[in-house]
Structure 1
């Protein structure tokens, strides 16, 4: 698709804050069953509101990799950076990707040199990949004028963890170069959150990883929350007990998810899913003993 005929960037407004979804890639169909093994076709069938947006005709979960590009207080903030291009990965679906992610980012007004902050909700492969790009045979920061923010507890966990080869490779090509260039800021996020820009607040969301954060947006009485991986898919609204098989602390992850959903239920706070397929955003509504997502399609800004 040529630039002049490119699809407009999906966007939502939260008061004076603008949030754009920067698509990277739709995740492979088998990802859902691997990631959320409790979301069986039988479980999915019990929640017909999931179709057609969030599950396919075969009741397989639909998942996506994307970033959120946030304009707030005159700053350009990127939340998570996907899988990245050209990287050696154990997952065949992520191995040496070649997408037009950077062109999409630039079309949204977020040229790499113009990004002020990069928020890493946690240090997993599919959230840090575009931290760096290949240049002159080395991996260098993609966003050379940005500060990259991660929770100190997240960094401390991985610094002391026994990592397998693929995870060590991910840190070598996507995390350590940022630190080596002096661009990584480790922050302490208190229970009531840490405001990093006007109306943009990091809030603890532990369980999936020890130092995961979600991102709360607020402006002019409007509000939104970017999930990180405390909620991978809308089926977890209907079944909050379904956890990811890569959650480090499944019990804590479930507590985090339930606390967030209870806080958002039947309010006007927009939920923006870090892996939700289009329409990606919605309002949390009570549904019996659990919840459902009322989709809020994007506009263009």
Structure 2
């Protein structure tokens, strides 16, 4: 767990898991192994023996008025048969959060940068009394991208469900499980705000759409006391994409649009000197970026924020 400050904003990292996640060649299909092995600073924190090394983590942002969670990980006890690493996982995230000084009732805002399984899992918890999933943070407002709700909600019947070139039936089946246990209970509770475009959460915090990874993928910008950061979710999975920003991950639903969003956000971060804070960077977890040829280079924040 690491803490740092940006002006008057405090940021806390709560790490659920870190390690080899997937074959690097599968994660970013456009890149050769050489791009990984020659990537400055990738091994061993981000690349190891042909594998992409990543992390599951939540960023806690406190602006003096509210406590904000940026993404909520995988969740415990979830049925994720197509993703063995997530299937019926027991990671004890709420305990980790409390050890960091954040009780569930302390959380004012939950930001889901998008509605994939590893970003919404702890939106909810299992309640033995009702034998059902209920919001894990009883006092929180959950900010859900409207475009993602429309895309993933089974009741919305998005045309991509039956498109010949769309995701397959197995993928939709798992997404439906995610929606049922981690999104629908929040909608039913009345705690959700569906948003589009951009929305200001406070003087220092702004949510902005950056579509491509999913239709409603978003970033959270922090601007306080002359210091800036951008929490980019899955806009960037690995630092290899900093050097090759046109290359999207295998999880991006619209790779071309994702690349456009990635380049735009990274270019602005380089210009403003903003700290780039992705959802899945292992090691230091965050970096400042600067232009380097057609891409960007990372100046690692070790410890984060230094």
TM-score by length of 1: 0.90
Matches of 1:32 and 1:69 in 2, distance apart? 28
Matches within 5 A, 1:155-194: 155-158=149-152, 159-161=156-158, 162=161, 164-189=172-197, 193-194=198-199
SS of the residue 2:51 aligns to: coil
Q: Among residues 122, 127, 131, which one is paired with 1:135 in the alignment?
A: 127
Label 1:40 to 1:27 Cα distance change in 2 as closer, same or farther (>3 A): farther
Contact 1:69 1:78 in 2 (8 A): yes
Q: CA deviation at 1:49?
A: 2.7
Alpha-carbon contact 2:3-2:304 (below 8 Å) kept: yes
CA distance in 1, matches of 2:42, 2:65: 37
Partners of 1:31 and 1:24 lie apart in 2 by: 21
Q: Which residue of 2 aligns with 1:53?
A: 45
* Other-structure match for 2:164: none
Matched, 1:196 2:201: yes
Q: Secondary structure at the match of 1:61?
A: strand
Checking the alignment, whether the CA contact within 8 Å between 2:232 and 2:279 is kept in structure 1 is: yes
Checking the alignment, whether the CA contact within 8 Å between 1:27 and 1:65 is kept in structure 2 is: no
- Matched length: 288
Q: What are the superposed Cα offsets for residues 56-112 of structure 1, whole Å, 9 maximum, x if unpaired?
A: 2x2532111111100013200001101001111021111111113111111222111
| Partner SS state of residue 186, structure 1 | strand
Q: CA deviation at 1:39?
A: 3.9
Give, in angstroms, the shift of residue 267 of structure 1. 4.1
Equivalent pair of 1:73/1:197 in contact (CA under 8 Å): no
Q: Secondary structure of 1:155's partner?
A: helix
> C-alpha separation between the residues in 2 aligned to 1:60 and 1:92?
17
Q: 1:299 to 1:152 in 2, by over 3 A?
A: closer
In the other structure, the counterpart of 2:296 is: 291
Q: State the 1:227 CA deviation.
A: 0.7
Structure 2: runs of 5+ lacking an equivalent: 162-168
Task: Show structure 1 runs of 4+ deviating over 6 A.
Answer: none
Q: Distance in 2 between matches of 1:88 and 1:185?
A: 26
Equivalence for 1:3: none
For structure 1, list consecutive stretches of 5 or more residues without a partner in the other structure: 1-8
* Partner residue in 2 for 1:6: none
Paired with 2:249 and 2:292, the residues of 1 have a C-alpha distance of 22
Q: Does 1:151 align with 2:145?
A: yes
